[in-house]
Structure 1
Amino acid sequence: MTRLLWALGLVLALALPAAAQTYPDKPLRFVIPFPAGGATDVVGRHVAQELSQVLGQPVVVDNKPGASAIIGAQAVATAPPDGYTVLFATSSVLAINAATRTKLSYDPVKSFAPVTLVGLTPMIILVGPNSPYNTLGDLVAAAKAKPGGLRYATVSDTIRLAAEMLNERAGIKIESVPYRGAAEAYGDFYAGRIDVMFDPIPTGYPIVTSKRAKGLAVTTAKRSQMAPEVPTVAEAANLPGFDVSIWYSLVLPAGTPQAIVDKLHQAAVKALESPDLKAKLSSLGVEPRPSSPQELAAFVDGELKRWSAVARAANLVQAE
């Protein structure tokens, strides 16, 4: 029996490298858990296109939006762990959802095999063109003078937590007003019924350049190459260490053989280092940040801890 088990183990050990050697020999399914046409979809499609060039196989985008990206994430979590179903996972998928929910149909750590971080993009804090606030310092001072007197629009848990982190770090209370989508929120923003918007820079900065809003700050530790004139929150409100980004990554179903994970990782890093993809991501305000699988796992762990603490402090954990 011992010899039989040893022989079976040897066969499996030899089979895994063989599978990796032929991988991929068919198209990959690239799941984006957000609607087609949105900022995340555009970024993901650029990555999928370049990855296809590197792998020499079609990488077919499959949009699976719904339930705060939970539907798409669950679809990948339960897919065969053979390397042919890839999740374009965002900060909401791997950190925010778990931080704001007591029950989730997938585990952001146990359900996936990390491949690489793709990149980071800031949010931009906006006020109307006729707003009396010209700097984030002005806004913070007004919020301190009149707690609860200002309002910001919420269209996602990611935005809500970023705003609540600003509230906590600055010692202010800007009230949240929930909206079903960005179009509805911007309608009230342009009408002056909402004082502040937090928006990913790819969609928020064009509103600044068209003079429909003023950009007070970006939420990352460094200024954005897309909007170099806009200061960081740390600079504008004297809040050292403030660093909030929306981030993108690639993960596979848990249980995917490490040899296949490694091969996809190598291909993804090569794709992210291509000048063409770098230029496309930069034009969308995304800073490419390829990583090892181990670095991505550590990064996700840190983000989970950070946003869980913010959600608990702001009483934003949903009992589902």
Structure 2
Amino acid sequence: MRRRSILQSLAAGAAAVCVPTLRAQDDKSVMTILVGAASSMDFTARLVAQQLQEVLGRPVVVVSKLGAGGRLALNELKRAAPDGRTLMFSTSSLFAIYPHIYTKLDYDPVADFTPIAGVSWFDLGIATGPMTGATDLKQLMAWQAKQGTGAVYGAAPGAGSSSHFVGIALAQASNLPLKPVHYKDSGVGLIDLVAARLPMLVTGTSPLVEMHKAGRIRIVAVSGEKRSPLVPEVPTLREAGMNVTIQNSAALYAPAKMPREMVDRIYNAVMPMLARTDVQEKLAGQGMVPFPMNGTQLAGWLAEERRRYEILAKESGYVPEAL
């Protein structure tokens, strides 16, 4: 009897352990992917949603929750249950840059979330206009050097963004006193660049392309490790002689403590789409390149990014802001 009781208890325990996995696989409830930024993030999130819906056989919706630089959406993710029903598609800025530009965050970038999958990366463009007449980065930086303490650059979307930090890194690499002029969006910065009120603008490459191809501005370099698919003729900053590489990732995240089998299932559902030519072409149209990483790899990449931005912030004397 004692042996039978033990076996029954073990069988009941094993069945209980299997229940979450079975439920996760059979769950047909709506999965929500939060997005805290507009434009290319929303576009790519919808590609991910379509893929998940086809593979997992459950409805997947993308919900834009804009505001506070993406923190509104991130805090909703933080409060959600780790049951696979609420995810977020986000840039790396919230996890790598924000810890160094705010005095106190209302979330822990590591403990409060579960990285699931890297999807794409995108770079930033460094552009100039009629004010400088420069045709490459060397000429642009030579023009800036002549301005002395009046050397400035535009950063969109503003203080603490990756655009701002590209400018900080360029100032350090060139030993020039470049000062930022912050813009909430690239559109206003472009207006000033074309009107010769601004010598240099750092922002996402995609918004610059149309005017670059029309000859109204010139993208002299991009910030990523590789050339942008949008302007393959434009060199990277490293190729142009500046030892600077900064790029953003776009990835899928879940609340903390999501079961490993759920994480793996979602990751395995997303990855095949990054090998498809049609998806790669759609990403390229947004200035993005596939960035396939599992959760562990993504967490490691974010840790390296946090360290890099911490060094940049400290060396530049960046003063964190209060939330």
What TM-score results when the alignment is normalised by the length of structure 2?
0.90
Letter aligned with residue 34 of structure 1 = A
1:101-151 deviation line (CA, Å, top 9, x unaligned): 121111111111111111111111111146321111112223334333222
Q: Tell me the equivalent position of 1:266.
A: 268
Aligned with 1:235: secondary structure? coil
User: Which residue identity lines up with residue 307 of structure 2 in the other structure?
Assistant: K
Contact preservation (8 Å) 1:81, 1:257: yes
Instruction: Tell me what 1:97 maps to.
Output: 98
Deviation at 1:197, TM superposition (A): 0.8
Equivalent position to 1:160, from 149, 160, 164: 164
Give the 3 Å change call, closer, same or farther, for CA 25–199 of structure 1 in structure 2: same
* Kept after mapping to 2: 8 A contact 1:39/1:203: no
Structure 1 unmatched runs, 5+? none
Offset, 1:273: 2.4
The one-letter code of the counterpart of 1:49 is: Q
Structure 1 outlier segments of 4+, above 3 Å:
5-12
Local SS of the residue matching 1:288:
strand
Q: Secondary structure of 1:192's partner?
A: coil
Query: What's the offset of the Cα at 1:159?
Result: 1.1
Q: Distance in 1 between matches of 2:214 and 2:42?
A: 23
Once the two structures are TM-superposed, the CA of residue 19 in structure 1 deviates from its matched residue by 2.8
Answer yes or no: is the 8 Å Cα contact 1:47–1:272 preserved in 2.
no
- How far did 1:175 drift? 1.4
* Corresponding residue of 1:181: 185
Query: What SS does the aligned partner of 1:233 have?
Result: coil
Q: What code does the residue aligned with 2:139 have?
A: D
State how far apart, in whole Å, the 1-side matches of 2:274 and 2:264 are: 15
Shift of 1:253: 0.4
Where does residue 34 of structure 1 map in the other structure? 37
- By how many angstroms is 1:310 displaced? 1.0
Which of the two has higher C-alpha Rg?
A: 2
In structure 1, distance between residues paired with 2:288 and 2:100: 24
Partner of 2:299: 297
The answer as to whether partners of 1:30 and 1:88 remain within 8 angstroms in 2 is yes
Letter in 2 for 1:135: D
Q: What is the alpha-carbon root mean square deviation over aligned residues? A: 2.1
Q: Is the 8 A contact 2:186 2:207 kept in 1?
A: no
Extract unaligned runs of 5+ from structure 2: 1-5
Q: Identity of counterpart residues, as a percentage?
A: 28
Query: Is the Cα contact below 8 Å between 2:96 and 2:306 reproduced in 1?
Result: yes
Indicate the residue corresponding to 1:275 in structure 2: 277
Counterparts in 2 of 1:98-177, with a 5 A limit?
98-129=99-130, 131-154=132-155, 155-156=157-158, 157-177=161-181
Asked if the contact 2:128/2:140 (under 8 Å) is kept, the reply is no
- Whichever residue aligns with residue 106 of structure 2, its letter is S
Equivalent position of 2:230 in the other structure: 226
